[in-house]
Amino acid sequence: MTEIFSWPFAAEILPALLRGAVVTFIATIGGFFASLIIGAVLLALGRSKQTAIAWLGRGLVELLRSTPLLIQVYVLFFVLPDAGIVLEPVTTGILALGLYHGAYVAEAYRAGLDSIPRGQWDAIESLRFSRFAAYRYLILPQAIAPLVPSLGNTFITMLKDTPILAAITVPELMFAANDAGSQSFRYVEPMTMAAIAYLVMSLIAAFAVFLLRQRLGTRYA
């Protein structure tokens, strides 16, 4: 080994890394949508009129936010099969990402709803909108625009959290890079390429969020 970075070796492992990147992409998208749903459920639990349920919801959010994602991943990976639920590693990973980030999304939802001025609720009540119509046509459209930045951040953070899924053998990009390294005992190329790939992917994601914000921002001030 004379040179530190071997281009031919880099070219050789590129296809494997790209396959890993596809899994990373799938896990990110899956985890994102899971977190949108789980976040809504957690918020609804936390706002329940039943005190016990509300405590459960808030406790769950606190637990999910105060403990490492890696441990939560292990919990699902080891404990679900014991409970008779056998999932693909990637499904387990998506579920774990959804739960962990769902707790953050619930907070974002809450902030979005709280940002709607009291006067809006007065107007809605005085015009006799049903709860469903109020949320569907008036509240959600207003709450979504301010949500875009924080949900965008969630998406980007999610992308950067996917390497953790390598710990439960999800064949994503980091797993592929590690695999390529351990087969050849050359780590410089796969690790560097993986790092660059994450940088590029998160820059693209950040740009997409920026464009989305611009489009939504011009609708109404």
Partner 1 sequence: MALIWEYRFDFLAGVWWTVKLSVLSALLALVLAIVAGVARSSKLRVLRIASGVYVEFFRGTSALVQLFWLFYVLPYLGIDLTPLQCATLGLGLCFGAYGAEVVRSCIQAVPQGQLDAAAALNFSYFQTLRIVILPEALIMMMPLFSNLLIELIKATSLVSLITIPDLTFQAKSIITKTYSSGNVLLVTLAIYLVISLIAASFMRRMEKVLSRGRQTGQPA
Partner 2 sequence: MSDMITFDKVDKRFGQTVVLDQFDFRVARGEKVAIIGPSGSGKSTLLRIIMALQDIDQGKVSLDGRPLWDAAGGKHRIKPTRKHLRDMRSLVGMVFQNFNLFPNLTALGNVAAAPRHVLGLSQAEAEARAAALLAQVGLSDKLQNYPATLSGGQQQRVAIARAMALEPEIMLFDEATSALDPERVGEVLEVMRALAHERDLTIVVVTHQIGVARAIADRICFMEGGRILEDGTPQQILNEPRNERTRAFLRAVHLS
Helix/strand/coil (H/E/C) assignment for every residue in 99-156: HHHHHHHHHHHHHHHHCCCHHHHHHHHHCCCCHHHHHHHHHHHHHHHHHHHHHHHHHH
Residue 68 DSSP class: -
Q: If contact means CB under 5 to 8 A according to the sort of partner, which of partner 2, partner 1, none does residue 66 touch?
A: partner 1
Cβ-based nearer residue to partner 2, 137 or 210:
137
Q: How far out from the chain centre does Cα 6 lie?
A: 34
Which residues from 90-129 bind partner 1, rule CB under 8 A? none
* Residue from 2, 66, 130, 214 in contact with partner 2 (CB under 8 A): 130
Contacts of 160 (CB under 8 A, 6+ apart): 198, 202
Q: Does the protein bind partner 2 through residue 123 (CB under 8 A)?
A: yes
| Choice from 160, 209, 212, 213 touching partner 1 (CB under 8 A) | 160
* Cβ partners under 8 Å of residue 220, min gap 6: none
> Where along the sequence are the contacts to partner 2 (CB under 8 A)?
117, 119-120, 122-123, 125-130, 133, 137-138, 141-142, 145, 219-221
> Where along the sequence are the contacts to partner 1 (CB under 8 A)?
4, 62-63, 65-72, 74-75, 78-79, 82, 159-164, 166-167, 174, 177-178, 181, 187-188, 191-192, 194-195, 198-199, 202-203, 206
